[in-house]
Structure 1
Amino acid sequence: MSDSSRDTAEGAGWGAAERGDYQQLMPRKVEKISWLDPKMLWAARNGVLASWFGDPTGRTRGRWVAQRAAAGAPADKVIRRDDPDRFSFMVIGDTGEGDDPQYAVVPGFLKVGQDTDFAVLASDVIYPVGSADDYATKFFRPYQDYRAPIYAIPGNHDWYEDLGAFMRVFCDATPPLPPEPAPRPLTRAWLRSLLWHRPRPHDGEHLGTARKLRSAPAQQAAQPGPYWAIDAGPVRVIGIDTGLLGTVDAEQGAWLREVSQGPRPKILVTGSPLYVDGERHPCPIEGGGTVDDLVRDPAHHYVAAIGGDIHNYQRYPVQVDGRTLQYVVAGGGGAFMHATHTIPRIGVADVTEQDFRCYPLRGDSLAFYSRLYGRRLRLRRFFELSEAEATAVIAERLGIPPTRSPGEPARVTRRTRLVASLLGAGGRPDRTSRLRLPVRKIYTQLFSPSSATYSPPFFKCFLRLDVTPEAIRLRCYAATGNRAQEVEPPVEDEVVIPLT
């Protein structure tokens, strides 16, 4: 097994490493998404409009589900597979930017997943707005050599064109939804409809050609809708659609309560993680209750909840009524990296720093962002921290031993502390806390995507889950873009989840 980032700096992808072969998989012309481009921001405006003028996602989702039911989709939305009691599947989240970071994941994903039975894409299949024209290079091409079915749940970006392309690709929905009656003038819904982004005319004309890249019989799968359940071997995998604003509508909530019944062990896959960045986000259900209430209910027998949307890996083993539920963030499949160094010292739901796992490690995240800021602000000599300096200052600020400490630890200087504070590193407040640059909020939401790097290390990841009647073995694998991690993807985290 190759070194991981917890073993050596080289295992994290630092140093003079050889770039992998992933670029040979990429198309000749690659779109680089810039979220500072006003045209891009305008195209992706529906999330903001939904928060201002009311969220129509639940109503639109209900119409899609009704259309699929009329076409013969199972009423319970359960996909019943013939997997044996021992099988494996992959989970990868927030994939579809179509550039170097996404394609850098593909060789390791194919190598680790070559004998798995299916895969699940957890959130944001296509950036920036889920257009059908983008599926060729951002879904069909990168995963053309994965020889098993791929199921998906949509993320907020897939909803920016009312989910039309997602439904065509994953649910075989051919006719578009008929237009809704026009809202009454001068209402919030009327204002929203005036500004709402819709697909371009003739979007997806070449979708038939793109489908040929994944046309083998073993690769085919048709979902009953944007949310579903899969009965596979001894477990039920349940995927929910949290729409534009990270919530669940009443109709989907009623379905979720129904499919959560029974003694079968269950894994939830959601577009919005329930624990992330040291906080609990239970995900409200329209009409009352939360998704996490259902996950925690011992009668439902959930063992894990895996969420996308945040572009890194995190794991929180939460004790609930004498059981351990594994709450996982798995959004590192290809989009720009959300910082982990801004995560404070963990103390949520009795989960401590000793229990918590993340990838990239906080020190690597800080080193990555220090280089990024140094380059963008043209202050490299001031901002840039070595991985050893970043690891040392994170350990000091959080009051924990260095996660990776080969050789002599780096000295923490005034400059190192100042840079760490400016870049929002978690820890105790100090005199520079008020000077922090907007890493955790504005920067990761707006400037980070435009600052995405196109050379390793990328700090991407994906999951493999091996299921037996007794347990689930969950492993997080890294993809840095370097050849060493491409040939032998390192395991960054592993946990065995008992089912009995």
Structure 2
Amino acid sequence: MSESSRNSAAGAGWGAAEPGEYKRLLPPRVQKISWLDPRTLWAARNGVLASWFGDPTGRTRSRWVAQREAAGAPADKVIRREETDRFSFMVIGDTGEGDEPQYAVVPGFLKVSQDTDFAVVASDVIYPVGSADDYDGKFFRPYQDYRAPLYAIPGNHDWYEDLGAFMRVFCDDAPPLAPEPAPRPLTRAWLRSLLWHRPRPGDGQRLDQARELRSDAAQRSVQPGPYWAIDAGPIRIVGIDTGLLGTLDAEQGAWLREVSKDPRPKILITGSPLYVDGEHHPCPIDGGGSVDDVVRDPAHRYVAAIGGDIHNYQRYPVDVDGRTVQYIVSGGGGAFMHATHTIPRVDIGGVTERDFRCYPLRGDSLAFYGRLYGRRLRMRRFFTLTEEEGLAVVAERLGITPVRSPGGPVRVTRRMRLVASLLGAGGRPERTSRFRLPVRKIYTQLFSPSSVTYSPPFFKCFLRVDVTPEAIRLRCHAATGNRAQEIDPPIEDEITIPLI
């Protein structure tokens, strides 16, 4: 088994490593997304409009669900696979930018997933706005050699064109929804409709040709809608659609409560994580209550909740009235990397630094962003930190022991402390840094999306889940873009969840 980032810098992908062979998988023409391009930001405006003028996602989702039921989809939205006493599946989140970082995940994903029964894409299948014509290079081509079904739950980006392309791909070529009556003039809904982004005329003309890349009968999957449950052996997997703003409509909330009454242990897969960046986000349900209320109810027997949307890996083993629920973030499937070094010292839900896990390690994240800022601001000598320096200064700021032992002694200097503080590394702000670069809320929304790099290490990841009647074994595998990690994808985290 290859070393992971927790063992060595080489295991993290640093150094003069041999590049992987993922580039041979890329399509002839790759259109890279620039999240600072005004045209991209304007196309992806629907989330902002929904927060300003009201969110129509719940109503649109209900119409999609009604259409699928009229077409014969099961009313309970349960996918009933052949049940055996043991099975395996993959989870990969926030995949579809269609460039080098996404394709760098593919070789390791295919290697680890060889004997799995199906896979789930958890949030944001297609960037930037979920267009049908983007499915060729961002879904069908990268996963054409995965020989089992792929299910998905949509993320906010898939909703930027009212979920039309997602429904066509995953829900038996669902036809477009009929137009709704025009809203009354001068209302908030009317203002929203004037500015709302809609699909381009003729979008999806290449979709039938793209489908041929995953046309084998063993790869076929049909979902009852944007949210669903899968019954497969000893557990039930429940996938929920959190729409544009990370909430559930009342209709989906009622379904979630009902489907959760099944006596089997359950794993929730959601577009928005419930614990992330040292904070608790219970995910409200219209009409009252929250998704986490459902997860925490002992009668429902949830053992894990896996969410996408944030592009890294995090795990919080939370004690819920004497039983442990594993709250996981798994959004490192290909999109730009969200920083982990900005996560403060963890102390939430009874989870402390001793129990918390993340990938990339905070020190590696800080070194990655230090180099990135150094290039962007043309101040390489000031901002650049070695991976060992990143680990050391993060450990000092958080008051923890470095996860990975440095290769030699590292002296933390004033420059290193200043860089860490400017880049928002977790911990107590230094007196020398009253000014910080925008590395928390604004940084996550603005600078992180422009942080895509096209050379390793990429710090991407995916999950393999193995289920038996006795236990669930969950492993987070890394993808760096280097050849060594393609051949033997390192395990960055592993947990066994008992079922009996």
Q: Do 1:262 and 1:299's aligned partners in 2 also have CA atoms closer than 8 Å? A: no
Question: What's the counterpart of residue 441 of structure 1?
Answer: 441
**Amino acid in structure 1 at the alignment position of 2:358:** C
SS of the residue 2:434 aligns to: helix
8 Å CA contact 2:27–2:137 kept in 1: the answer is: yes
1:457 equivalent in alignment to 2:457: yes
- Match of 2:489? 489
TM-score (norm 2): 0.99
Q: CA deviation at 1:433?
A: 4.6
Residue 207 of structure 1 aligns with which residue? 207
Q: Does 1:21 align with 2:5?
A: no
- State the number of aligned residues: 500
Distance between the aligned counterparts of 1:178 and 1:409, measured in 2? Answer: 66
Q: Is the 8 A contact 1:89 1:116 kept in 2?
A: yes
SS in 1 for 2:31: coil
In structure 2, the partner of 1:65 is 65
Paired residue for 1:38?
Answer: 38
- C-alpha spacing 1:57/1:432, structure 2 compared with 1 (3 Å): farther
**Aligned to 2:161, what secondary structure does the other structure show?**
coil
1:230 aligns to what? Answer: 230
- In the TM superposition, what is the alpha-carbon distance from 1:172 to its structure 2 partner? 1.4
Q: Which amino acid aligns with 2:75?
A: A
User: CA separation in 1, counterparts of 2:367 and 2:98?
Assistant: 25
Match of 2:262 in 1: 262
Q: Following the alignment from structure 2 to structure 1, what is the Cα–Cα distance between the partners of residues 157 and 102?
A: 16
Task: Write the distance in 2 (CA, Å) between the matches of 1:451 and 1:378.
Answer: 15
Indicate the SS of the match to 1:478: strand
Deviations 1:308-352 (A, max 9, x none): 000000000000111000000000000000000000000001101
1:176-219 alpha-carbon deviations (Å, 9 max, x no partner): 10000000000000000000000001100110000000000000
Which residue type is aligned with residue 125 of structure 2?
V
Confirm or deny: 8 A CA contact 1:339 1:440 kept in the other structure.
no
Q: Distance in 2 between matches of 1:65 and 1:172?
A: 13
Alpha-carbon distance in 1 for matches of 2:120, 2:81:
14
Letter in 1 for 2:354: Q
User: Are 1:390 and 2:390 matched, yes or no?
Assistant: yes
Which residue in the other structure is 2:471 paired with?
A: 471
Deviation of residue 61 (structure 1)? 0.2
Alpha-carbon distance, 1:408 to partner: 2.0
Query: How far does the alpha carbon of each residue in 1:68-102 deviate from its partner, in whole angstroms, 9 at most, with x for none?
Result: 00000000000000041111000000000000000
Q: Which residue of 2 aligns with 1:166?
A: 166
Matches for 1:49-448 after TM superposition, within 5 Å: 49-448=49-448
* CA 63–432 in structure 1, closer or farther in 2 if over 3 Å, else same: farther
Identity of aligned residues (%): 83
User: How far 1:430 sits from its partner (Å)?
Assistant: 2.2
The SS at the match of 2:121 is strand
- Unaligned residue ranges in structure 2 (runs of 5+): none
TM superposition shift of 1:174: 3.3
Q: Describe the superposition over 1:119-141 as per-residue Cα deviations: whole angstroms up to 9, x where unpaired.
A: 00000000000000000000000
Deviation at residue 493 of structure 1 after TM alignment: 0.1
Indicate the residue corresponding to 1:11 in structure 2.
11
Preserved CA contact (<8 Å) 1:278 1:346: yes
Deviations 1:131-184 (A, max 9, x none): 000000000000000000000000000000000000000001432100000000
CA offsets, 1:237-256, max 9 Å, x none? 00000000000000000000
**Matches of 2:173 and 2:252 in 1, distance apart?**
19
Q: Give the Cα–Cα distance (whole angstroms) in 1 for the partners of residues 483 and 407 of structure 2.
A: 25
Q: Residue type of the partner of 1:236?
A: R
Q: Secondary structure at the match of 1:439?
A: coil
Could you report, residue by residue, the CA deviation over 1:343-375 in whole angstroms, capped at 9, with x for unpaired residues?
Answer: 000000110100000000000000000000000
C-alpha separation in 2, matches of 1:449 and 1:354: 30
Secondary structure in structure 2 of the residue aligned to 1:211: helix
What SS does the corresponding residue of 1:418 show, helix, strand or coil?
Answer: helix
TM-score norm. by structure 1 comes to 0.99
SS at match of 2:430: coil
Contact kept, 8 Å, 2:339 with 2:448, in 1: the verdict is no
Question: Cα RMSD (Å) of the superposition?
Answer: 0.7
Relative to structure 1, is the Cα distance of residues 484 and 174 closer, same or farther in structure 2, using a 3 angstrom cutoff? same
Residue 410 (structure 1) shift: 1.2
Q: Structure 1: 5+ residue runs without aligned partners?
A: none
Letter in 2 for 1:113: S
